[in-house]
Amino acid sequence: MGSTSDKVSGMANEAVGKAKQGIGKATGNDRMRAEGKVQEIKGEGQQMMGDAKKAVKDTVNKQM
């Protein structure tokens, strides 16, 4: 995936994860809260991967 698609996927996972946490908290479902936290962290990681890919691409382009 490219840097933009990583960032978009990451934002989506982060948003869904936060929603799951909210639903889990409202319903007292600890498993859903935990799944939401994992998904949120996954999204944050995807966004960082996108940022890293962009930084590498920018560095390579500057040296050309």
What's the pLDDT tens digit per position in 1-33?
A: 788 999 999 999 999 999 999 999 999 999 999
What is the torsional sign of CA 21, 49, 1, 58?
A: positive
Band (pLDDT 50/70/90 cuts) for residue 64 is confident
Q: Is 49 exposed, middle or buried (0-12, 13-18, 19+ CB in 10 A)?
A: middle
pTM for this entry: 0.85
CB 11 within 8 A of CB 43: yes
How does residue 41 score in pLDDT terms, banded at 50, 70 and 90?
Answer: very high
